[in-house]
């Protein structure tokens, strides 16, 4: 297993290509989902310098805070609430360019300006969501969605 994260020079696409290969290498030998979430959170966070990067796991019909990097966060989110709970209930990735314009956004941190939430599937069920917050507006686009959904599949498999 690689012990040092290498961050590609260049654009977002190039960074994700190398990040994805390293995540694949790190998770391929480990079947514990929480251990993999922990490494993935720090690898994404270090590559892009996001404000907050982490996972909420589905436990007893609620989202419960899992491994993350960044400031202290809300521990529990109801289904359908906030960006995370909406991604879960609507079973899709949600990109929010301006969190102040998203009805019901849950502000764990006043620094957060934009956000992406990606559901993690295992078989037919969503078992968690990957949530990333940025301190600048409109950080996330279809490139982030495509790569983060690929990373989510590595977590879920």
Interface ranges with ligand SME (CB under 6 A): 52, 73-74, 77, 82-85, 105-106, 108, 112, 115, 131, 133
Determine phi and psi for 145, rounding to 5 degrees.
-55, -50
**CB of 121: closest distance to ligand SME in angstroms?**
19
Rounded Cα distance, 65 and 46, in Å: 20
Q: Do 128 and 152 form a contact (C-beta atoms < 8 A)?
A: no
Nearer to ligand SME, 58 or 108 (CB): 108
Nearer to ligand SME, 38 or 73 (CB): 73
**CB of 63: closest distance to ligand SME in angstroms?**
8
**CB of 52: closest distance to ligand SME in angstroms?**
5
Name residue 76's beta-bridge partners.
64
Question: For 154, how many CA atoms within 13 A lie in the half-sphere containing its CB?
Answer: 23
Per-residue DSSP letters for 22-53? HHHHHHHT---HHHHHHHHHHHHHHHHT-SEE
**CB of 151: closest distance to ligand SME in angstroms?**
17
What residue is closest to ligand SME based on CB?
82
Nearer to ligand SME, 131 or 144 (CB): 131
Rounded Cα distance, 111 and 50, in Å: 11
Nearer to ligand SME, 1 or 59 (CB): 59
The token pair at 9 is 């020079």
Nearer to ligand SME, 76 or 157 (CB): 76
**CB of 36: closest distance to ligand SME in angstroms?**
19
């Amino acid at each position: 297993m690689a012990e040092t994260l290498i961050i590609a020079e260049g654009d977002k696409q190039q960074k994700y290509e190398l990040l994805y290969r390293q995540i694949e290498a790190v998770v391929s030998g480990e079947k514990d989902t929480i251990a993999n979430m922990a490494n993935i959170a720090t690898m994404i966070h270090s590559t892009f310098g996001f404000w907050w990067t982490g996972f909420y796991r589905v436990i007893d019909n609620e989202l419960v805070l899992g491994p993350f990097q960044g400031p202290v966060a809300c521990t529990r989110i109801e289904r359908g609430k906030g960006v995370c709970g909406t991604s879960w209930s609507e079973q899709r990735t949600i990109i929010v360019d301006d969190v102040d314009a998203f009805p019901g956004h849950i502000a764990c941190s006043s620094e957060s300006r934009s956000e992406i939430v990606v559901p993690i599937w295992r078989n037919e069920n969503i078992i968690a969501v990957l949530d990333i917050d940025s301190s600048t507006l409109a950080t996330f686009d279809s490139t982030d969605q495509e790569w983060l959904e690929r990373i989510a599949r590595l977590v879920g498999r």
